[in-house]
């Protein structure tokens, strides 16, 4: 079921702790993504576009590159090589960034700050921010389809990557989740509502990142299914941690204002079940997620470590 | 160079007039597109989404289906069959509709009416309109990548279709054109500026419609190049006619307010060279475009007739 990797997988043994070697690996993935994003944005012919400057501004505003790193690690897990998935990783970050730009708009969440800097529409105006989001979303699909990238990947697999990402970003995924988020404000909603909201708004693209990394890595149905289920769980855990940081985070670290969810009476885990139970749920979800990786054995260490980082991070 | 068609092409002979048979053919194409769009939008699981209702509202608001029809006719020109390109035709209409929804937003053109009905944000509010545009853009790429559609098309060709459409819609195409349009308002600009603006804002997707129809129809480099150059010319002619209708059109027919371009001091052909010279330029462009189709002979009749319609239409 699994493709060959450097070491023979030993089922069950997953070192989830951050070792210096794991940290170096994840840092290298993040640097590769940053490098590829920078290279993709180095086009002097486009500098005259205010929209292009807005795209660059938001793309390089210091994101954690979580989705790209998960994509590279999933590719590495199945093929032994992470870099093959770099164009997909960049496309995921384009789509994530577009969603932040549009979500911050006055008509939506009306957020003036993002990652400690003025949000895109505060810096460039609303018209440019709308167009910059549109352009990032559109050009993600150029990255996935242009003939000079992903050349060695089977074209049918590339089409599956495009389908996976477009569905995760579409109405059945992020957009439907954002709609539920807005509609849920101030309403008394159930935990099922919040779960469905988070699964679409956050979980869908995180799962897609893992599945697409797996697709590029040559994964077949079995491993891809594990990656998807793993992604669903860590996606929800990540969003719960985000909601916790909105209550008890330090703005100096998160780069975001604190307490805004409560002000808007957003539908969140902490609002529904409290801080302590939310923390426990996030921990349980990550433990469940990591246990799903057992068939990959020790090779799954990096994904497990990143998962535990997700719920202990302070930004 | 050309694939076999029912009748032997006779270079040079292109009946550009509307015959009843041509009209039936184009009407049938339009009905096929409307039918495919309706089928694609018939998903009861999604009816709960306000965003979905907004997508449907704008997609079925009575567009001319120009880009889809051009796509189907280009496919028919090269393969003898129009229907093979239907999913691509629908994706083009999704992207065209998204661009209208976002362009109408208060931060951009601030248009309250579109095709004689309230524009999307007037009907559904700004947040839903932004998300509906995002969803149409995103789901266009689902239509192009899902495995149950375009099954018989070579996967590498499908990737070329996705690249073509994403580039036409991206910063080098529609989005860059929209930016130039906003920036040009009230400025003294040159005809070169207007040409470049129109080529990106309108011409790019019209050219892509033709090239993608040709790609699905099995076209090779030669015919695709002709279709692209043909599309560039009729795209500009179409936009000039649009600008003329903004001055002398009847709101009851166009469904749009008249005189808005002049009010905003938009960069248009009529504003720069006057009505009569604009009309002449549009006519010259279409004649040039149709002459490019000479290698296809009589088979190019439908595309020629649609081109002449573009500059004589009153809506």
pLDDT, mean over chain B: 92
Give the pLDDT of residue B3.
Answer: 44
**CA neighbor of A255 nearest in space, from A113, A123, A119, A101:** A113
Cα–Cα separations (whole angstroms), residue B231 to B77, B189, B216, B307: 14, 24, 16, 10
What distance in Å separates the CA atoms of residue B226 and residue B217, rounded to the nearest whole number?
14
Judge whether A11 lies within some domain: no
Q: Which residue has the higher pLDDT, B57 or B315?
A: B57
Cα of B96 to nearest chain A Cα, Å: 13
What distance in Å separates the CA atoms of residue B231 and residue B210, rounded to the nearest whole number?
7
Judge whether B87 lies within some domain: yes
Judge whether B13 lies within some domain: no
pLDDT at B7 over 80: no
Cβ-defined contact of B130 to A146 (cutoff 8 Å): no
**Smallest Cβ distance to B175: which of A51, A141, A179?**
A51
Residue B238 near residue B315 (C-beta atoms within 8 A): no
Cβ-defined contact of B131 to A175 (cutoff 8 Å): yes
Q: What's the token pair of residue A196?
A: 């469905």
DSSP-assigned beta bridge partners for residue A118: A113
In the block, residue with structure tokens 């979500």: A103
Cα of A302 to nearest chain B Cα, Å: 31
Residue A165 near residue B166 (C-beta atoms within 8 A): no
- Does the interface predicted TM-score (ipTM) exceed 0.90? yes
Contacts of B101 in chain A (CB under 8 A): none
Give the pLDDT of residue A116.
Answer: 86
Give the pLDDT of residue B15.
Answer: 60
Cα–Cα separations (whole angstroms), residue B190 to A185, B210, B268: 49, 28, 10
Which residues lie below 8 Å from residue B297, measured CB to CB, with a gap of 6+? B8, B9, B10, B11, B12, B13, B14
Residue B258 near residue B222 (C-beta atoms within 8 A): no
**Smallest Cβ distance to B156: which of A142, A155, A167?**
A155
Contacts of A41 in chain B (CB under 8 A): none
Residue A94 near residue A140 (C-beta atoms within 8 A): yes
Size of the A and B interface in Cβ pairs below 8 Å: 136
What distance in Å separates the CA atoms of residue B309 and residue A160, rounded to the nearest whole number?
39
**Total H helices, total E strands in chain B:** 16, 2
Cβ-defined contact of A166 to B131 (cutoff 8 Å): no
Cβ-defined contact of B142 to A128 (cutoff 8 Å): no
Cα–Cα separations (whole angstroms), residue A312 to A161, A256, B84: 30, 17, 52
Cα of B45 to nearest chain A Cα, Å: 10
The four Cα atoms A181, A184, A188, A191 give a dihedral, to 10 degrees, of -30
What distance in Å separates the CA atoms of residue B215 and residue B228, rounded to the nearest whole number?
11
The domain spanning residue B59 has which CATH number?
1.10.600.10
Number of domains present in the structure of chain A:
1
Contacts of A159 in chain B (CB under 8 A): 145, 147, 155, 158-159
* pLDDT under 50: residue ranges of chain A: 1-11
Q: Helix, strand, or coil here: A114?
A: strand
Give the pLDDT of residue A64.
Answer: 92
Cβ-defined contact of B134 to A137 (cutoff 8 Å): yes
Judge whether A35 lies within some domain: yes
- Using the Cα atoms of residue A45, residue A49, residue A51 and residue A57 in order, give the sign of their dihedral: positive
Which residues lie below 8 Å from residue B162, measured CB to CB, with a gap of 6+? A141, A144, A145, A162, B141, B144, B145
Which residues lie below 8 Å from residue A188, measured CB to CB, with a gap of 6+? none
Mean pLDDT value of segment B264-291: 95
Give the pLDDT of residue A175.
Answer: 98
Judge whether B37 lies within some domain: yes
Domain interval for residue A113? 20-310
Judge whether B1 lies within some domain: no
**Smallest Cβ distance to A135: which of B51, B127, B175?**
B175
Q: What's the token pair of residue B51?
A: 């965003």
The C-alpha R_g of chain B, in whole angstroms, comes to: 19
Mean pLDDT value of segment B212-237: 98
Cα of B305 to nearest chain A Cα, Å: 32
In the block, residue with structure tokens 């979303």: A137
Judge whether A236 lies within some domain: yes
Note the residue count of chain B.
Answer: 315
pLDDT at B29 over 80: yes
DSSP A170-229: STTTHHHHHHHHHHHTTS---HHHHHHHHIIIIIHHHHHHHHHHHHHTT--HHHHHHHHH
Q: What's the token pair of residue B19?
A: 């015959």
* pLDDT tens-place string over residues B44-99: 788 889 999 999 999 999 889 999 999 999 999 999 899 999 999 999 999 999 99
Cβ-defined contact of A179 to B50 (cutoff 8 Å): yes
**CA neighbor of A285 nearest in space, from A306, A259, A308, A258:** A308
What distance in Å separates the CA atoms of residue B47 and residue A48, rounded to the nearest whole number?
42
What distance in Å separates the CA atoms of residue A122 and residue B225, rounded to the nearest whole number?
43
**Smallest Cβ distance to A162: which of B52, B127, B145?**
B145
Phi, psi angles (nearest 5°) of residue A113: -130, 150
Which residues lie below 8 Å from residue A118, measured CB to CB, with a gap of 6+? A112
Residue A306 near residue A64 (C-beta atoms within 8 A): no
Assessment of whether the complete model's pTM goes beyond 0.90: yes
Mean pLDDT value of segment B158-186: 96
Judge whether A7 lies within some domain: no
Give the pLDDT of residue A168.
Answer: 98
**Smallest Cβ distance to B175: which of A134, A144, A158?**
A134
Cβ-defined contact of A179 to B51 (cutoff 8 Å): yes
Cα of B214 to nearest chain A Cα, Å: 18
What distance in Å separates the CA atoms of residue A151 and residue A146, rounded to the nearest whole number?
9
Residue B37 near residue B60 (C-beta atoms within 8 A): yes
């Amino acid at each position: 079921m699994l493709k060959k990797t450097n070491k023979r997988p030993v089922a069950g043994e997953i070192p989830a702790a951050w070792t210096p070697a794991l940290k170096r690996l994840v840092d290298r993935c993040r640097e590769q993504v940053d490098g590829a994003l920078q290279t993709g944005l180095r086009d002097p012919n486009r500098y005259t576009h205010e929209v292009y400057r807005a795209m660059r501004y938001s793309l390089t505003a210091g994101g954690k590159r979580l989705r790209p790193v998960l994509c590279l690690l999933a590719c590495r897990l199945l093929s032994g090589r992470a870099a093959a998935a770099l164009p997909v990783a960049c496309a995921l970050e384009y789509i994530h960034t577009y969603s932040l730009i549009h979500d911050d708009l006055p008509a939506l969440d009306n957020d003036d700050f993002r990652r400690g800097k003025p949000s895109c529409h505060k810096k460039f105006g609303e018209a440019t921010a709308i167009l910059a989001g549109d352009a990032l979303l559109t050009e993600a699909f150029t990255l996935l389809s242009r003939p000079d990238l992903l050349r060695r990947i089977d074209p049918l697999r590339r089409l599956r990557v495009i389908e996976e990402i477009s569905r995760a970003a579409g109405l059945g995924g992020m957009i439907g989740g954002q709609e539920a988020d807005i509609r849920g404000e101030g309403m008394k909603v159930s935990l099922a509502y919040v779960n469905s909201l988070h699964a679409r708004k956050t979980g869908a693209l995180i799962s897609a990142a893992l599945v697409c990394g797996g697709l590029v890595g040559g994964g077949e149905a079995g491993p891809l299914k594990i990656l998807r289920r793993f992604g669903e769980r860590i996606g929800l855990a990540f969003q719960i941690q985000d909601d916790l940081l909105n209550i008890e985070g330090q703005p100096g670290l998160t780069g975001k204002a604190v307490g805004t969810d409560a002000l808007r009476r957003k539908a969140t885990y902490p609002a529904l079940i409290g801080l302590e139970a939310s923390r426990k749920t996030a921990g349980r979800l990550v433990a469940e997620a990591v246990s799903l990786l057992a068939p990959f054995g020790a090779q799954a260490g990096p994904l497990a470590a990143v998962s535990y980082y997700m719920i202990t991070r302070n930004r």
